Amino acid sequence: MKASITEVTDQNFDSTILQSSKPCLVDFWAPWCGPCKAIGPTIDALAADFDGQITVGKCNVDDNPEIPTKYGIRSIPTVVVFRDGKIFEQITGMTSRSKLEGAIQNALNGGAATSPFVMG
């Protein structure tokens, strides 16, 4: 993984994501998932573009089953933006870079969550 992307595990999730002072974007993925591979370069680019402003992490759901289960991740890829230790926005499936950027900008600018129905 690139230096600007953190490997998120069941063991480091709380300290890395929930206790972060910055908004966090977590890509829930698996190595066998074609759409996960397709969205990977977009996640990498966003990590570079927002370096220092947000924490970007990738969580391999095969190696780390506890966190996806806790947050009800049933389909991958799922990208979740966390702010203040809570789910701010959750996007499942292939999505556009602009939608992901919008979620990041909204979290950075203190906007309201666009997915308030998501429990975290």
pLDDT digit string, tens, across residues 67-78: 999 999 999 999
- Domain-located, residue 89: yes
- Domain-located, residue 54: yes
Q: Specify the 3-state DSSP secondary structure of 7.
A: strand
What total of structural domains would you count in the chain? 1
- Domain-located, residue 119: no
**Catalytic option among 9, 10, 30, 33:** 33
Active site residue 33: yes
**Catalytic option among 8, 36, 39, 87:** 36
Domain of residue 69, CATH code: 3.40.30.10
Q: Specify the 3-state DSSP secondary structure of 49.
A: helix
Q: Which residues pair with 92 in a beta bridge?
A: 78
* Token pair for 113: 């969550």
Q: Which of 3, 28, 1, 2 is nearest to 13 (CA)?
A: 28
pTM exceeding the 0.85 threshold for the entire prediction: yes
pLDDT digit string, tens, across residues 9-25: 999 999 999 999 999 99
Range of the domain at 14: 5-108
Active site residue 59: no
